Structure 1
Amino acid sequence: MIRMRPRWVDFHCHLDLYPDHASLVSECDRERVATLAVTTTPKAWKRNLEVATGSEYVRVALGMHPQLIAERASELPLFEKLLSETRYVGEIGLDAGPKFYRSFSEQERVFSRILGACAEQGNKILTIHSVRCVSKVLDHLERSFPLDRGVAVLHWFTGTAAEARRAAELGCYFSINAQMLVSEKTCRVVSALPRERLLTETDGPFVAFNERPSRPRDVGETLKSLASTLGIEVQAASELVVKNLGALTRNRNRRV
C-alpha cells in the first residue's frame, strides 16, 4: 500500500535488465516514482518479486514478451500457473516487425490464451506491446478481454488516430515515453487521446536519456514533453498522470 502520494509514474520499466536492479527499486521508493516493473518471461517473475518485496512504490508484472515467443512459448503453462499471484500483467502483446513476424501466428495463439486467462480471473491490469499491429491487438482485446474484466494499457502506442479512438472505446489507457514525443505525428495522436487515460513510462533501459539508459526518475523529463504536447503546465501534467494511475488501480471489474 502506498502511504504517500507518488511524485511521478513510470508504468513500464524493465528494472531487472539494469545491473543495479535492487538499488533501482530503492531509488524508486526514495524518489516516490510509482513504477511497474515489467518482465519478459514468466521465469523472471519470482526473482523480480523477491527484489521488490517491501517496496512501497514498485509493483511487478508477470510477462511473456512477444519478441521471445519463438523461443519461450513453452513457458505459457508456467505463466498461467503464476497468474493468480499478481494483478499486473506485462509485457505481453504482439510484434509484427520484420525480425519477429515469422512467429506472429504463435504470438497470436499465446496472446489469446493470456487474454482469456486474465479475463477468466478478472481484475487484471495489462501493459501491452503492439508494434506494427495495433488493429490486431485491438481485435484480440475485443474478442477475449471484455471491458468489465480488467484494463489494458497500450505501452508505446504508435497507432493511427482512428486506432487510438477505437482503443479508447475499448477502455484502454496509454503509457507515453519520451521517445514517442520526439515525433510530431505521434504528438498529434497523443494530444487527441483522452487525458483521463494517459500515463507515463520510460521503457528503460530501451529508451535513452542523456546518452544513458533511462531510469524511472527520468520520467520527470517525459512529463515536460507531455505537458508541452498537451499545452498545460508541467505540474498539471504530473497531477493528471498520478490521478489517472489512482483511477486505474481503483478500477475493479467495472467499465471505465
Structure 2
Amino acid sequence: MKLIDFHCHPDLYNDNFKMLNNANKIVFVTNLPVLFERYYPKYKDSKNNFLALGYHPELIEEYPNYFEKFKRNLYKTRFVGEIGLDNSERNKESFGKQLRIFREIMDECNKSDGKIISIHSRKAESSIFEELINNNNIYILHWYTGTLKRLLDGMMKNQNIYISVNLDMTTTKKGHDLIHSVPIDRIVLETDAPFTKESKKRYDYKILEDTITQIAKIKKSNLEDITIQIQANSKKILG
C-alpha cells in the first residue's frame, strides 16, 4: 500500500488539476459544499482521489447559509472535510455560528455512521472534543496545534481519533512534541497542499516520503517499521 495524503486542496493550485494526474491516493478536501458539487461529477468514481464534502469554519461568516446544501450532498461520499472550528482572533466573532453548524454537521455524520472526517481545530479543541462521540466515524485532526493533554485524553476515550501530520509540523517544537507523544498507531499523513512550505513549490509523492522520514527520526524508530505502521493505519481507516 502506498502512502496516502489525508488532507490536500488540489483545487487551490493554478494548474487545472494537473497535479492529480501523478498523485497517489489523496483525500481531496473542499472548503464549501458548492465546490464539492462542482468536482463531484469528475471525481466521484476515482480510485485515487477521494473527494470530501467540506464547509470550512473560516468561510462560515461569508457563506452562512450552506448547511442545507452540505446535508443534501452528504450521502454521496464517505469523506467529510474540511470542517471544524476556528477560534483564532480573526474568527472569534463567527465562533457561535461555527459551533452551531459544526454540531449540525456532526449530527448528520452520526446518522450516517461511518464517515472519515478531517477536522480543523485551531484554538477550539476544547469544543471539538465534546462533539467526537464513540461510533463508527473516523476523526482525523488536521494540523493539530492544541494542547497535548487534551488530545491524548481524547484518544484514550475514543479509539477512532487520529492526527494527520504534514512536513511543516516536523520542523516546529510543538509539532515535534506532538509527534513524539502521540502513539504511532494514531498517526497518518497529510500535505495540506498548497499551504505548507514544500507544497507551495510542487506537489509530489516525495513530500509524503520526507514527512514519514522525519516522523521516524522524531520517534527514534526504524523508518521501515514506521512506514508499515502508518500504512496499516491508513488501511484501517479506509476499511
1:86 aligns with 2:77: yes
Alignment-derived partner of residue 42 in structure 1: 33
Cα deviation, 1:190-226, whole Å, max 9, x if unaligned, reads: 2111211110100000112186255555211111111
Alignment-derived partner of residue 150 in structure 2: 163
Instruction: Decide which of 55, 64, 74 is 1:64's aligned counterpart.
Output: 55
What is the alpha-carbon distance in structure 2 between the residues aligned to residue 76 and residue 139 of structure 1?
20
1:194 aligns with 2:183: yes
**What is the CA distance between 1:25 and its match in structure 2?**
1.7
Alignment-derived partner of residue 87 in structure 2: 96
Alignment-derived partner of residue 128 in structure 1: 119
Q: Contact conserved, 1:153 with 1:175, CA < 8 A, in 2?
A: yes
The structure carrying a bigger strand percent of its residues is 1
AA matched with 1:10: D
> After TM superposition, what 4+ stretches of structure 1 lie above 4 angstroms from structure 2?
213-217
What is the alpha-carbon distance in structure 2 between the residues aligned to residue 124 and residue 186 of structure 1?
26
Aligned pairs (5 A) from 1:174-253 = 174-209=163-198, 212=201, 214-215=203-204, 217-250=206-239
1:147 aligns with 2:138: no
What is the alpha-carbon distance in structure 1 between the residues aligned to residue 200 and residue 53 of structure 2?
29
AA matched with 2:114: N
Percentage of matched positions with identical amino acids: 29
Alignment-derived partner of residue 110 in structure 1: 101
Alignment-derived partner of residue 74 in structure 1: 65
Instruction: Decide which of 15, 26, 47 is 1:20's aligned counterpart.
Output: 15
Of 178-187 and 96-105, the range deviating more from structure 2: 178-187
Of 192-201 and 165-174, the range deviating more from structure 2: 165-174
Q: Contact conserved, 1:35 with 1:216, CA < 8 A, in 2?
A: no
**What is the CA distance between 1:73 and its match in structure 2?**
1.9
AA matched with 1:26: N
SS at match of 1:71: coil
Listed as ranges, the gaps of 5+ residues in structure 1 are 251-256
Alignment-derived partner of residue 55 in structure 1: 46
AA matched with 2:219: L
Of 11-20 and 88-97, the range deviating more from structure 2: 11-20
SS at match of 1:152: strand
What is the alpha-carbon distance in structure 1 between the residues aligned to residue 202 and residue 179 of structure 2?
23
What is the alpha-carbon distance in structure 1 between the residues aligned to residue 179 and residue 196 of structure 2?
18
RMSD of Structure 2 on Structure 1 (CA): 1.7
Alignment-derived partner of residue 253 in structure 1: none
SS at match of 1:72: coil
TM-score of the two chains, using structure 1 as the length reference:
0.87
Listed as ranges, the gaps of 5+ residues in structure 2 are none
Alignment-derived partner of residue 10 in structure 1: 5
Q: Number of matched residues?
A: 237
Q: Contact conserved, 2:145 with 2:174, CA < 8 A, in 1?
A: no
Q: Contact conserved, 1:227 with 1:237, CA < 8 A, in 2?
A: yes
